Amino acid sequence: MSFTLGKEEKLKSKKLIEQLFAEGKHVKSFPFRLVYLPVNHFGKMPIKVGFSVPKRNVKLAVNRLRIKRLMREVYRKNKDLFTDNLDKRYIFMFVYMAKEEIKYSDLELALIKLGAKFQDKIKEYEQN
């Protein structure tokens, strides 16, 4: 497992992002909300991912960018929680819901919990 987050893994297509927010399902684990959608994209990796920090919640751009960097780093180190046991290709968007910056260790714990919830949701969906 490679602990990188390369260009081919990033979600950049406006069409895919619009489709994700229109049709996607979500899972929450404070301070994250994961919006996901099974989509047959043509990337090398099984998941294309984006990160968002709403301006409504975090006013200063400096703080929003720092939170995004932390989110990317936490995901990069723990992405095997999401990519393991996947049969389909997915697009993800991690949305930060808190009003203030949270410590790295707390973000990591929340992401691990979110990964477990996502895997449970996928297993439940495949059984039905």
Could you tell me the CA-to-CA distances from 47 to 20, 79, 96, 100, 101 in Å, in that order? Answer: 13, 10, 19, 28, 26
75 within 8 A of 111, measured Cβ to Cβ: yes
**14-127: CATH, from 3.30.230.10, 3.50.50.60, 3.40.50.1370, 3.40.50.620:** 3.30.230.10
Eight-state DSSP code of residue 97: -
* pLDDT 10s digits, 18-53: 999 999 999 999 999 999 999 988 878 889 999 999
Type and span of the H or E element at 106: helix 104-127
Examine the pLDDT at 126 and tell me if it is beyond 90.
no
Q: What pLDDT was estimated at residue 125? A: 76
pLDDT value of position 1: 58
Question: pLDDT digits over 45-96, tens only?
Answer: 889 999 999 999 999 999 999 999 999 999 999 989 888 888 889 999 999 9
In this predicted structure, the answer to whether residue 6 has a pLDDT above a threshold of 70 is yes
